Structure 1
Amino acid sequence: MTNINVFLRENLVGISSNISIAPQIDEKKLNNAVKAFAFTGSPSTVVALFDNTLFGSGKDGILFTGEQLIYRGSFSDPVSVPFASIEAVEYVETVTGSKGDKTEVSLLIRRKEGAALPITGLLSCNYRKLVETLQTCVQDFSEFTEERQLISIDELGEPLKVAYVQAVINMAYDNDQVIDDKEFAEVLQLMTRLDLTPEARFILRTYMASSSGHIPLATLLERINSNSPAGQVKALHVSLVKDLINVYYSTGGRDIAQFAFLQNNRELLDVSDEEIELAVMAIKNDYDMLRDDLTDDQIVSALKLLSAKAAAVGTPLAAVYLSGSVVGMSAAGLTSGLASLGMGGLLGMSGMMTGIGVAVLIGVGAYAGVRKLTGANELTRSKRRELMLNEVIKQTQLTISLVMKDINFITEKLNEAIRTHGVQDAQIKRLAGLMAQMTGAGAVLTEKTNSAQASATKLRCAQHLDESKLRALTREPTKAELYPWILEFYEERPVVVGRDEAGEEKTEVKLCLKRDRDRKQLETLARAFEAIGYFNVGDVLLGTASEAAGKAREKLSSLFS
């Protein structure tokens, strides 16, 4: 039997039109539900939400995780029912009406200990299928665990990421036993998006050096599957197929039917024709975003069509983008671009990941960041698209930087081999020395670039943190994890705030940004500030007002308790 979280995602989808399945649960609705249902876990572990409200607030209905369901009827307190505590689930029909001519349908949850729980009044609900699904949970599963519903590949372990890229390298060698320049460039960009360690890049450099000794695809997929988070294997396969097709397209291939590597390994990859069509559509959309004549409105329209296609296929759109966008955007950069287009929730990133790492971009983070910088209430027609292009440029520059490091590594190995074998040819030594000199200069320039980028990024972070403002802006459940995470970047230090009448410096102890943070860490922190709207006046006022209202409610509650 499959993982409980996967089973619920696959089987709850047909229960009702009012049910939302992770990672495509509206962020506002998810926040409402987490609070109304008194759910104390991470919002990223919510599998599904049955919204039983007339206006779609998500405050009544049923919230599902891999461990429990929480039922909240109208004007009632939430009731948590762990799956492990359920004895049986029954479908009930009750005759009603003065003439006995009406039937009321409901379900009854019988618990091993405690009173039975009747659930009635669910809007547009297929009670029989819901009962069948819950009864299967009780009968066929023995382990019930809450887990994040989808995690981007760059957050996963190195063994999985290495096997993933090796599968793409296998495909690049498959057609002509050579990796040409375009294929090589695509593999390098994929490695950058997946944020591989230097050790992992060395493994892959060696793997790319020859077509002999390659690991069979079946073995690589076993490694991917065994290192995959529970319930994410299918999503990883869909993402891998997208990256395979992209490399195939880079060499001029266009007809998927003629894509031999894909067709010969369909059974291993376990993807449907519809999922392949979705991947092709996503790749086309990615490249369309680079067209000069494409406006923001056209991008939004295309992404909505892509989202509708994903829904029809039954595959979360986030699964297609687990490795980022094939044009060079990381998962974070893509989320940033979508947010700037007013489509921050399209991939369900707030439900897909926690607030840490790549998923700090929740809600309208990038849009808030740009408004802070420009002071504009509305961006120009194509200004938001520019943000996405800038992310492509940044990722490409990072790839070039990694190539320089790899060249330097190879040069060192060459020089070591020359010294070890005592090669005396003066010309070889001069050329090797020149290469070392050039790569050394390249490394210096790269370091200067990184330093400049770190300085620029630091400007997008609060130099002195206002903890009360941060607390107000992270009150929502999907942003709550950012509060302690951001605090970790700061430390108390005395800061000169002026001089007294005697001319002596006056100091105050403030939360200051730690000095030992690198460019990558600062970039993530900057995105976190943008995500919560730290520099956006409207978000700050709203957060402050919410905090004040919360404190007022607490005071009133204490007066009448």
Structure 2
Amino acid sequence: MTNVNVYLRENLANVTSKISIAPNIDEKKLNNAVKAFGFSGSPSNVVALLDNTLMGSGKDGILFTGEQIIYRASFSDPISVPYASIASAAYVETLTGSKKDKIEASVLISRRDASDLSITALINCDYRKLAETLQGCIDGFEEFKEERQLVPISELSEHLKMAYVQAVINMAYDNDDVVDDKEFAEILQLMTRLDLSPDTRFTLRAYMASSSAQIPLATLVEQINTQSPAGQIKALHISLVKDLINLFYSTGGRDVASFAFLQKNRALLQVSDEEIELAISAIKNDHDMLRDDMTDDQIVSALKLLSAKAAAVGTPLAAVYLSGSVVGMSAAGLTSGLASLGMGGLLGMSGMMTGIGVAVLIGVGAYAGVRKLTGANEINRSKRRELMLNEVIKQTQLTISLVMKDINFITGKLNEYIQAHGAQDEKIKKLMGLMVQMTSAGTVLTDKSSSAQASANKLRCAQYLDEGKLKALTREPTKAELYDFIFGFYEEREIVAASKDEDKQIVTKLVIKSGRSSQELESLARAFEAIGYFNVSDVLKGTAADVAGKARDKLSGLFS
């Protein structure tokens, strides 16, 4: 049987309409639940949330992870029940009322320590299905483990990413036995979005150079499946189909029915007609977002329709965007753009990324500040879209930078080859000298651009980090990982500071560590924007929450 996390995602949706399955759990509701249920793990490990509140706050009900359920009845303390501790889960009907003429349904959990727990009073719940699902966990699995529910391809193994891109290259060759300039450009952008290592890029360069070196698609799909996180194989297949269709469109293809590579590999890719239609809609939507006449409101409306279509298909919308957007946005950049539209939770990306990936939520605070300053409705309508366009520009510039590095590499190899074979022709030597000079100049300019971008990104970060302020702004569970991420960029250093009487004194402050790349500083800047570090309203809100928290702690100390 599949991994327990997958099993739960596939079966819990039928228990009640009041349940949210990862990654489609509202961020505010998830934060409420993590705190109310006393869950100490990462919010990204939550499989599902059965919200039993009337107002939809997420503070009562059942929280499911790969290791346990946490049950919290109204006005009661949360009760954690590890699956490994459950002996059985049974559907029970009890006669209630003065005349014993009413039936109350419940789920009786019998634990291995001989204690019982009755789960009841759930709104619109199919208790029989809930009992069957829990019993299925006990009968079908021996190992129970919490894990992230969805991971973008850029954070997966290099082996998986290589096989993924090789599958796309196979399609380019299958089309007309050549990788033309449009296909090459699309593949390069895909490689940039997936954040490949230099070694992987080198291997793929060689793979693209010869159609005779192709690895069978069946082998590549098997490699993707083997390297995939548990439960993410289906999502990876849908994402791959989206990238294949996009490449088909880039060369003038219009009707997917005539897309020979896809049609002959349908069984291997295991995608339905509905999932293919979803991928096509996502591609069209991506291009529509960059149209000059597309306003923010229209983008939001289109994304909601796309999300509804994904829900109807039974696929998280995030599955379509695991490799980012086909117009050039990475998964991180797309999430950033959606957050700027007030739709940060649409893809569930905030819970599926760690490390640098966690810092992609740009936060609506920065945009709100711009809106208040300008007061111009026309600017307001497109300001957030501008953020998405800027992300496309950055990704394109990064792709060009990687192309320059690849050209430098190839030039160096060609020069070595000519020297090794003793080519003496003066014209060849002159041309090679010019080629080396041009590519070297390109490297200098690329480095200069990267340095300037790094400096610009650094200006968007705190020069001296206020740790107290950072703590106050990262109290929410879904932002908690951002504390460690941001703090990890800083180190204590002695600074010469001028006092009011102009005497110099040595003080210790937290400053950014040296040697950070432009890309890392970009992620750090986004992290600051995500928590509203420079936004007065967010700072006041965070400080108020911090003060309230300290007050509660003091009061509880007085009465304990």
Greater helix share, 1 or 2? 2
> Structure 1-normalised TM-score?
0.97
Indicate if the aligned counterparts of 1:371 and 1:536 stay in contact, CA closer than 8 A.
no
SS at match of 1:55: coil
Kindly provide the amino acid, as one letter, of the partner of residue 17 in structure 2.
S
1:130 is aligned to 130
Give, in angstroms, the shift of residue 500 of structure 1.
Answer: 6.6
In structure 1, C-alpha distance between the alignment counterparts of 2:372 and 2:54, rounded to whole Å: 37
Map 1:91-130 to 2 at 5 A: 91-130=91-130
1:312 is aligned to 312
1:433 is aligned to 433
1:256 is aligned to 256
1:471 is aligned to 471
1:369 is aligned to 366
Indicate if the aligned counterparts of 1:496 and 1:506 stay in contact, CA closer than 8 A.
yes
Kindly provide the amino acid, as one letter, of the partner of residue 480 in structure 1.
A
In structure 2, C-alpha distance between the alignment counterparts of 1:110 and 1:260, rounded to whole Å: 55
1:550 is aligned to 549
In structure 2, C-alpha distance between the alignment counterparts of 1:371 and 1:427, rounded to whole Å: 60
Indicate if the aligned counterparts of 2:464 and 2:510 stay in contact, CA closer than 8 A.
yes
In structure 2, C-alpha distance between the alignment counterparts of 1:98 and 1:328, rounded to whole Å: 67
1:410 is aligned to 410
SS at match of 2:380: coil
In structure 2, C-alpha distance between the alignment counterparts of 1:68 and 1:132, rounded to whole Å: 16
2:232 is aligned to 232
Map 1:4-153 to 2 at 5 A: 4-153=4-153
List per-residue Cα deviations over 1:465-519 (Å, max 9, x = no partner): 0000000001111111111221111111122321574x54223211111122111
Indicate if the aligned counterparts of 1:24 and 1:351 stay in contact, CA closer than 8 A.
no
In structure 2, C-alpha distance between the alignment counterparts of 1:416 and 1:516, rounded to whole Å: 32
List per-residue Cα deviations over 1:155-191 (Å, max 9, x = no partner): 1111110010000000110021101111000000000
1:519 is aligned to 518
Identity %: 73
1:342 is aligned to 342
2:283 is aligned to 283
List per-residue Cα deviations over 1:96-131 (Å, max 9, x = no partner): 223333211111011111411100011011111111
Kindly provide the amino acid, as one letter, of the partner of residue 247 in structure 1.
L
1:202 is aligned to 202
In structure 2, C-alpha distance between the alignment counterparts of 1:485 and 1:361, rounded to whole Å: 12
In structure 2, C-alpha distance between the alignment counterparts of 1:277 and 1:218, rounded to whole Å: 23
1:450 is aligned to 450
In structure 2, C-alpha distance between the alignment counterparts of 1:56 and 1:165, rounded to whole Å: 42
Indicate if the aligned counterparts of 1:109 and 1:116 stay in contact, CA closer than 8 A.
yes
CA spacing shift, 1:2–1:462, aligned 2, 3 Å: same
In structure 1, C-alpha distance between the alignment counterparts of 2:535 and 2:189, rounded to whole Å: 33
SS at match of 1:495: strand
Kindly provide the amino acid, as one letter, of the partner of residue 543 in structure 2.
T
1:221 is aligned to 221
SS at match of 1:419: helix
> Structure 2-normalised TM-score?
0.97
Moved more, 220-229 or 179-188: 220-229
Give, in angstroms, the shift of residue 95 of structure 1.
Answer: 1.5
Q: How many residues are treated as equivalent by the alignment?
A: 557
1:539 is aligned to 538
Kindly provide the amino acid, as one letter, of the partner of residue 345 in structure 1.
G
Indicate if the aligned counterparts of 2:23 and 2:347 stay in contact, CA closer than 8 A.
yes
1:167 is aligned to 167
Name the Cα RMSD after superposition.
1.3
SS at match of 1:325: coil
Kindly provide the amino acid, as one letter, of the partner of residue 145 in structure 1.
K
Give, in angstroms, the shift of residue 432 of structure 1.
Answer: 1.2
Give, in angstroms, the shift of residue 371 of structure 1.
Answer: 4.2
Indicate if the aligned counterparts of 2:451 and 2:518 stay in contact, CA closer than 8 A.
yes
Kindly provide the amino acid, as one letter, of the partner of residue 408 in structure 1.
N
List per-residue Cα deviations over 1:511-540 (Å, max 9, x = no partner): 111122111111111111111111111111
SS at match of 2:213: coil
SS at match of 1:122: coil
List per-residue Cα deviations over 1:248-298 (Å, max 9, x = no partner): 110111111111111111111111111111100000000001111111111
5+ long unaligned stretches in structure 2: none
Give, in angstroms, the shift of residue 200 of structure 1.
Answer: 0.5
1:497 is aligned to 497
SS at match of 2:107: strand
1:559 is aligned to 558
Kindly provide the amino acid, as one letter, of the partner of residue 47 in structure 1.
V
5+ long unaligned stretches in structure 1: none
SS at match of 1:509: strand
In structure 1, C-alpha distance between the alignment counterparts of 2:553 and 2:114, rounded to whole Å: 32
List per-residue Cα deviations over 1:332-386 (Å, max 9, x = no partner): 11011111111111111122223x2123234xx3432344567638761111111
1:353 is aligned to 353
SS at match of 1:463: coil
In structure 2, C-alpha distance between the alignment counterparts of 1:240 and 1:38, rounded to whole Å: 38
SS at match of 1:376: helix
In structure 2, C-alpha distance between the alignment counterparts of 1:49 and 1:506, rounded to whole Å: 54
CA spacing shift, 1:436–1:374, aligned 2, 3 Å: farther
In structure 1, C-alpha distance between the alignment counterparts of 2:536 and 2:527, rounded to whole Å: 16
In structure 2, C-alpha distance between the alignment counterparts of 1:104 and 1:559, rounded to whole Å: 42
